[in-house]
Structure 1
Amino acid sequence: MESYKLVLPEHLNHYGYLFGGNLLKWVDEVSWIAASRDHPGCRFVTVAMDRVEFHHPIREGSILRISALEGARGRTSTRYAVEVFCDDLDSGREAPVFTTHVSFVCLDEQGAKCPIPEEPSVAQG
């Protein structure tokens, strides 16, 4: 799944760069949406985000492309690889600015871990 975000003044820290917490929020949100769309009916909560490292500063007016793809799935959890790219509108190129993996666990209505339903198999014919 891909999503785009425009960096606005309210997203900046006091030095004029994107506040890291905003990027983490967007990464969590986009990867949660990807997991929820890939596994309809599951109630996912975030349980982990691995290495958090910002590769380049991000300025106001930047357009970010956030890509989230399922990388691994267990019985009750799933893990998404997330990459964030920053567009250079003048050159048309984009540069990678952030990568991480976000892990989610599936919960039942009482908040206990539950299995992620198996995807229906495609009939051979």
Structure 2
Amino acid sequence: MEGKTPSESMVEMTELVLPNDANALGNLLGGRMMHWIDIAGAMAAMRHSHKAVVTACVDSLDFRHPIRVGELIMLKAKLTWVGKTSMEVKVKVFVENIETGELTLTNKAYLTFVALDEEGKPTPIPPLYPETDEEKRDYEEGEERRNARLNKKRARL
């Protein structure tokens, strides 16, 4: 199975925040943001694996800056780590200043997806070959998050 680099499956998704996406204060609903993050992450995972995927875990989701109705947001999803059947995707969310083009980081999340075969069973996926120093660091940190998830799961059993 031929491996891939993180950039080969990267996804960029743009959304316009409309009134039905917002709460009574005019800020983007957290649930709507989580929905878009899950979609962007799943698309990156599917591009890497060429398989259907399911969300297995959301390790963290940081809300750093409110997003208002009428603002343009950009989601950037990129694989950080790959195991036998599962993969971690980092999704960063930016709000774009329409007048200047400046991007401000508003959210960051780490999600784990599992690739499925035609019968809905976990299936092997291609390895990930990080290229840049940042991608190599992301891979090592992804491995640490995976080990922490497994240790937490074992402690509950």
Given the two structures, how large is their TM-score scaled by the length of structure 2? 0.70
Q: 1:17 aligns with which of 27, 30, 34?
A: 27
Residue 113 (1) aligns with residue 113 (2): no
The number of residues matched between the two structures is 118
Distance in 2 between residues matched to 1:31 and 1:100, nearest whole Å: 9
Q: 1:55 aligns with which of 43, 56, 64?
A: 64
Distance in 2 between residues matched to 1:50 and 1:100, nearest whole Å: 7
Q: 1:123 corresponds to which residue?
A: none
The residue type paired with residue 30 of structure 1 is A
Quote how far apart the aligned CAs of 1:115 are.
1.6
Q: 1:90 corresponds to which residue?
A: 99
Contact 2:27 / 2:69 at 8 angstroms: preserved in 1?
yes
Task: Pick the structure with more strand per residue.
Answer: 1
Identity %: 35
Secondary structure of residue in 2 paired with 1:109 = coil
Q: 1:77 corresponds to which residue?
A: 86
Task: Pick the structure with more helix per residue.
Answer: 2
Distance in 2 between residues matched to 1:16 and 1:107, nearest whole Å: 39
Q: 1:65 aligns with which of 64, 67, 74?
A: 74
Residue 8 (1) aligns with residue 18 (2): yes
Distance in 2 between residues matched to 1:113 and 1:34, nearest whole Å: 17
Quote how far apart the aligned CAs of 1:118 are.
5.9
Distance in 2 between residues matched to 1:37 and 1:92, nearest whole Å: 28
Contact 2:61 / 2:110 at 8 angstroms: preserved in 1?
no
Alignment gaps of 5+ in structure 1: 120-125
Quote how far apart the aligned CAs of 1:110 are.
2.9
Distance in 1 between residues matched to 2:65 and 2:126, nearest whole Å: 39
Distance in 2 between residues matched to 1:68 and 1:118, nearest whole Å: 17
Alignment gaps of 5+ in structure 2: 1-10, 129-157
The residue type paired with residue 43 of structure 2 is I
Distance in 2 between residues matched to 1:32 and 1:46, nearest whole Å: 7
Q: 1:122 corresponds to which residue?
A: none
The residue type paired with residue 12 of structure 2 is E
Q: 2:142 corresponds to which residue?
A: none
The residue type paired with residue 13 of structure 1 is N
Quote how far apart the aligned CAs of 1:31 are.
1.2
Quote how far apart the aligned CAs of 1:28 are.
0.5
